[in-house]
A and B are shown apart, each in its own frame.
Chain A
Amino acid sequence: QKEVEQNSGPLSVPEGAIASLNCTYSDRGSQSFFWYRQYSGKSPELIMSIYSNGDKEDGRFTAQLNKASQYVSLLIRDSQPSDSATYLCAVSSGSARQLTFGSGTQLTVLP
């Protein structure tokens, strides 16, 4: 059973809308949580990290973490066509704090 699950998508939203990306994880002891953006054929780039329960905002991006529900989400406000990419959720867990990646959600923002 995969340890990090993402809604597989693809997800399409109109320009200017809010895009909501979700991720659940199985290891209750997980410590760190990351969202990466990956354009087609390019390497993943970190856009958000979150370590404690609640919301963390950075510009148009908000990460939300709920450790009790083992759930982490990414909201993208005022979505732009340039946000069209695959978004990878990654979770650090275990004594080795090794990262496990979800399979990604493909987001398309329609002009």
Chain B
Amino acid sequence: DADVTQTPRNRITKTGKRIMLECSQTKGHDRMYWYRQDPGLGLRLIYYSFDVKDINKGEISDGYSVSRQAQAKFSLSLESAIPNQTALYFCATDTGMGTEAFFGQGTRLTVV
């Protein structure tokens, strides 16, 4: 089983719908992240959490919200999906000790 698991892997939704992407990890890391990736734009940070009680906005948080339900779970919600939120979304974790980040398999979201 993957250390960082994202569900669903693929999702097509309609404009205006609320959708939640879920992430769970077995790494035991306190820090978790949500990134969005569009072609040619690299990884852009949406939200991050350094522990269960800590939530921080990233560079592109508008239109998104998150919930840190437990150390191992971090979910991303699109309150009212719009077509330009069509993208590949990644969850990641790290230790906070300057070591590498570990990524989930990604969720391909299409908003029609």
Contact = CB atoms under 8 A, between A and B. Distances in A.
Interface in B92-112: 94, 96-101, 103-106, 108
B43 A97 contact: no
Interface in A72-111: 88, 90, 92, 96-99, 101-104
Given A101-B42, A104-B42, A96 B96 contact: yes
B107 to A, nearest CB: 10
Interface in B50-76: 50
Interface string B24-48: 0000000000010000111100001
A92 B42 CA distance: 16
A43 B40 contact: no
Q: Is the interface of B mostly helix, strand, loop or mixed?
A: loop
A99 B48 CA distance: 11
B88 A97 contact: no
Contact of A99 (B40, B42, B101, B105): B101
Contact of B105 (A43, A88, A90, A96): A43
Contacts of A44: 43, 90, 103
26 contacts: A31-B98, A32-B98, A32-B99, A34-B100, A34-B101, A41-B106, A42-B105, A43-B90, A43-B103, A44-B43, A44-B103, A45-B103, A51-B98, A88-B42, A90-B100, A92-B98, A92-B99, A96-B50, A97-B98, A99-B94, A99-B101, A101-B43, A102-B42, A103-B40, A103-B42, A104-B42
